[in-house]
Homo-oligomer: A and B are copies of this chain.
C-alpha cells in the first residue's frame, strides 16, 4: 500500500479523468437491473464488514474516536448499504407511472404516457469528519447515489485520509467484482480537487455534510455554474429542546442526565447535539445541571475543530448575558472541557443570532423562561433545524409550540434526545436552511435516494424501447401508478 501517494492532493488532470470516467460509466451503471445494482451494494457491504479489523483501527488512529463507537458506526454503514439494496428491489423509488392513452380524458385526448425515475448522472460527495464511516467514503450519500444509479466522485475529508483511501479501495474492488463499470466510484483528495469536481460540466449533483461556511461556499459554486446543479448540503443545526414546567417537575433528574449525555456524546460532535435547552426558571433544573457530573475533556476529531470549540466557548463565556453552570474536568488546563452555560429568555431574545448559533463540541446553552406561553414565540426566533424536541407530560397541550417546530425542523421528538439518527424508511434528516440547502430532501433514511433521481416520461414509445419498470406486464413486480391508481403487487 502506498499510503503517501494515496492521500496526495488529486491533480486537476486526475479530477478531469475521474469525472470523465464517471460520466462514461453512467449509462451502464444506471442501466443495470435494480436487482444487480442491489447485489453490488450488498457486495460492498460484505467487503467492508470483512475489512472491519483493518478499517476500525485506521479510523481510531485518525479520529480519536473509541473503537466501540467506530465498530457500531461500521455496522450502521453496512446496514445502510443493504437497506438501499432492499429499496432497489422493492422498486417504489422508481415512482413508475403509466397513463394509457385516453380519448375521453377531461382536458382532451391524452397519449400513452409512462414515467419513471432515471439517475441524474455523476455526483460529487463531500465526506464529513465526524462520522468516518457513516457519513464518509461509503456513507449515506454514497450509498443512496450509487443505489440511484449515479457514479460517485468522493471527496475525502482531510480528517481521516488514510481511512478514506483504504475504504475507497475496498469499495472500488467490491464494485468491480460485482460487475460495476470502471469509473463508478473514485476517491479524490484536496479542497481544490473537490471544487474542481463540483464545477466539472459532467457532474450533475453535489452533496455535503459539514460546516455552514464550507457548505454555503460549495452551494454557491454549484448554483453559479453555467449549468446549475442540485446541491444537497447539511450544514448547521442547534437542535432546540423545550422542557415544559410539568416535565421539569415530574422528571428533573432524567432530563438533566439525558441532556448531559446527549450533549457530551461523541465529544459533542454530532450535528444533532441539543445545543439549546429551554427550561422553566423556577423548577430547579439549572441548579441540578450546575451540580451534574460532566465528563472530563476529551480530544476532538481534529486540532482545527478543537480550536474552533475553544474560540466559540470563550466567546460564549464572555457574553455578558451568559453564565457557566457546569464544566467537566480538564486535565490539560485548557478550557476545552464539556461546558453547560445558561442565559435568560429575555437575553436570548435580545441576541438570538449569537446565542442560537451552532457550536461544534460538548457545550450547550440553557435558556430559562418564566412562562410556558413564551415557548412558541421563542421557537419562532430560530432558523431551520435538523431536529427540535419537546419534553412534556400527559396533561401538556403543546399544540402551538409543535406547530412552530414543525415549520422549522425536519424531525420533531417527544421525550427523547436528538442524537442517534436511525436509518429507516420514515427517517427525515434535513430541514429548512441552514439545517440543509435543500429542505425538500433527506440525507438519512431510504428517501435519501430521491435526491439523485430525475423523472422522464415516455410518450407513445414502443414497448421494445421502454425501461423494464414501464413494461405493460410489470416484469419487475414493482408498485406502480396506473391510470391514476396506485397498484401494489
Contact = CB atoms under 8 A, between A and B. Distances in A.
Interface of A: 26-27, 31, 72, 75-76, 79-80, 82-83, 86, 90, 92, 95, 97-99, 105-108, 110-111, 113-115, 118, 120-121, 204, 219-220, 223-224, 227-230, 383-384, 398-399, 402-403, 406-407, 409-416, 422-428, 430, 432-434, 437-440, 442, 445-447, 450-451, 453-462, 465, 479, 481, 483-484, 486-488
Contacts of A486: 90, 92, 479, 486, 488
Contact of A120 (B75, B440, B457): B440
A440 B432 contact: no
Nearest first, the 7 A-B pairs at minimum CB distance are A428-B457, A97-B426, A223-B223, A115-B426, A79-B107, A110-B422, A113-B426
B415 A430 contact: no
Number of copies: 2
A161 B415 CA distance: 53
Given A108-B422, A424-B105, A438 B230 contact: yes
B442 A383 contact: no
Q: Of residues A31, A83, A433, A454, which shows the largest number of chain B Cβ atoms within 10 Å of its Cβ?
A: A454
Contact of A440 (B90, B426, B450): B450
Given A99-B422, A412-B461, A440-B454, 4 more contacts: A105-B424, A412-B457, A413-B461, A439-B454
Contacts of A204: 432, 439
Taking each of A72, A456, A457, which has the highest tally of chain B beta carbons within 10 Å of its own beta carbon?
Answer: A457
A486 B409 CA distance: 25
Contacts of A219: 223, 228
Contacts of A416: 111, 459-460
A409 B456 contact: yes
B458 A440 contact: no
A80 B99 contact: no
Given A416-B460, A425-B484, A442-B455, A227 B432 contact: yes
